[in-house]
Amino acid sequence: MNYKHWIAIALVPVMGAVMIVAVPIMMLLRSGSDASTSCGGPAVTAPAGAEVAPTDPSVLAGKQTEIVRTIIAVGEQMGFSDQGIIVALSTASQESGFKNYANDGTGILAADQMDVAKSLNYPHDAVGNDHGSVNPLQQQYPWWGTMDELMNPQIAAVKFYEALKKVPGWESLPVTVAAQKVQVSLYPDAYADDEIIARRLYAENKGASKDAPALPPQYDKPVSGGPQDVGDSPVNVGDSFELDVADVLCGGGAAMDCAPTNNPAEKGLTPDALRVMRCITETFGERPWANIGDRPSGVDRDHQEGRAVDAMMTEGDDDYRTPAGRAKGDAIADFVVKNADALGVKYVIWYEKIWTRSQDAVGQPGSWGPYDYPLGGNSTDTVAHRDHVHVSVYGNAAIAAPGAGAIGDGNARLPVDPGKYTITSGYGYRSNPTGTGGQMHAGLDFGAASGTPIFAVTGGTVTQASNVGDGYGNCVVITTGNTETRYAHQVDGAIKVKVGDQVSAGTEIGGVGTTGDSTGDHLHFEVRVDGKSTDPMPYLQAMGLTP
């Protein structure tokens, strides 16, 4: 598989240790901070330092106590109140068990995190692999700072307090809520059981700043700087083919395009899932949402990979246990099915029934049928999907009609001759080499022998015909109206067109190669509508082409 040309979707930081949960758990985010459960399943693995947060400070080792005192000292030196220091201690307890974590670099990493394993060269107490997280507070390298800064517990604490200071009204928030505002964890309530030990540790070590080293001069100043958005991982990690979510939410043609909800539950969703969430909200009003989180591996990975949302029917007039709530759920489910193409919907489950668009899901394609939870039957309202409307999507497959004139003179053709290629990678979410998801391939790859001719799919104007050093290698870009097609990784010397040329569908424009960020000979074919990436497969199929 070609792991280049991935769209880096913002990845929410997940803490590193294990917490055993006795009941099925799933993050349910509202517009506020409370949480509930959805989509039943077995116990899940949560992050952080101890299986159960200790309440007795005597269980901590000497190095752990040193980190405790460092966090307290920094808070005191920066002028934070007791509440702020307890928030910091609760966070470090949950995130690391007061251990200075290095990272071996074997987890899911963004392009600028690939050297996170150099943290192993710094003093550390434990080793993890949660994305780019390091140190007692599991801060994402390099977005929270340099490695020298982050592997220094004193400076890591400074950065936490700087971020906390930016949370509006943090002093009046519950400890677990304030901590979550900084960390943006998939487990928003995880810090609550750490407050007990945090308060005991603070009581025992208050005044630690009296014999602590002074803050380095560059940090011994009023709180400023810090992450632009507290806790967030940057979405666009640098290369031009790694796009922000905003750049793949095409919304043109027949694809639905509804206003953002400003709900934190949008974080980490694919474009189609965002469409579903936003358009349900716009049509039916605000409600709780259950989105990213763990699911039984025997079902699917839609929720884990941002390709599913659950519209909860649990509150007020929308309560599924009332006739009005049941009717509202029916209306939401029918709305999603009616607009399935425009929303990129794969299947819908509601009240013991499932609707699916094609054979790639349980049920009868194109109609509602009975739903039985595959791992144990409809034993509860949650697993039977009576308390929520579940919508799974393809990722970014909502129909977006080509721009005016995109079919040229009414003709279109595949970019490589049939029989001379194999589709080696499609558009959508891909597991990385560790077997976990979270990133999306931005095009359609045609594997073929080096030099195999490449043809223009539609007519248009050549707006690039060279290697501009952006990872695509030798690349031809053809623009027609608001639609741009890209033909990447061409072999050296193969490009047959130049900028400004007018081409027709079927014009030979180059040859297959492996230049740029590529792992083997193939054509990376990409489509952008109004500057936003869209799935090449439905784009081609809309013109009668089936790769």
DSSP string, 102-137: EE-S-S---GGGTTGGGGGGS--SEEE-STTEETTT
CATH number 2.70.70.10 is the correct assignment for the domain at 422-541? yes
Intra-chain end-to-end CA distance of the chain, in Å: 18
The pLDDT averaged over each successive group of 10 residues in the chain (547 residues) is 31 32 27 26 30 59 91 94 93 91 87 89 91 91 91 95 87 82 68 81 92 82 37 27 44 67 79 88 88 51 77 89 93 92 86 75 68 64 86 72 35 83 73 44 86 91 89 91 91 94 90 89 89 80 74
Q: What is the pLDDT of residue 490?
A: 96
Report the alpha-carbon distance of residue 502 to residue 390 in Å, rounded.
Answer: 47
Q: Check residue 176 and give its pLDDT.
A: 79
Q: What angle do CA 533, 534, 538 make, to 5 degrees?
A: 160
Q: What local confidence, expressed as pLDDT, does residue 139 receive? A: 92
Q: pTM for the complete prediction?
A: 0.38
pLDDT at 92: 93
> DSSP string of 244-286?
-GGGT----TTS--------GGGTT--HHHHHHHHHHHHHH--
Domain locations along the chain: 47-211, 248-393, 422-541
Q: What is the pLDDT of residue 300?
A: 59
DSSP bridge pairs for 528: 484, 533
